[in-house]
Amino acid sequence: MPTTPNPVADRTDRSVTVLRDLLSPEALDSVEWRRWHEPGRTGTAIHALYETADDQPATAQLIRFDPGAHGDLHEHLGYELMFVLQGELLNDNGDRYGVGDLVIEEPGSVHRISTETGCTLLGIREAPVVPTN
């Protein structure tokens, strides 16, 4: 007789975070935001989703930029994925990204992001970044 490798009772024994309907302003307003203070960065807040405990930790976070805000100039040690949930994101090379755009920065890339109107992103980094001058 065949056996079930994962009985139904075991399927609930896991850790999971679910944030529903992240494209709605109400859902994004309902998460807990913490101001992000860092040299070279202005007008940003984050909601941390996870951070690994590796030597070069990976992170995932929601990032909210106030109108006119910007990040610091930095170099990527690993890939970074940014998904625009609200508003418009500007890259220092002149590229503009809107709601639904997915941007992947490769290791070794150097950039600074900003916004004129404000924006909210899902940001995932597989390794830290290094501030540059």
pLDDT by residue for the chain (133 residues), tens only, comes to: 455 555 555 566 788 888 999 889 999 999 999 999 888 888 999 999 999 998 888 999 999 999 999 999 999 999 999 999 999 999 999 999 999 999 999 999 999 999 999 999 999 999 988 988 7
Close Cβ partners of 65 (under 8 Å, ≥ 6 residues apart):
43, 44, 71, 87, 89, 113, 114, 115, 118, 119, 120, 121
Instruction: Render pLDDT for 19-38 as a digit per residue (tens, 0 to 9).
Output: 999 889 999 999 999 999 88
Per-residue pLDDT, 104: 96
* Two tokens, residue 64: 């909210």
* Two tokens, residue 92: 């220092």
How many CA atoms lie less than 13 Å away from 7 in the CB half-sphere? 3
The pTM of the full predicted model, rounded to 2 decimals, is 0.85
- Pair 87, 65: CB distance under 8 Å: yes
One-letter amino acid of 133:
N
**β-bridge pairing 119-125 and 34-35:** unpaired
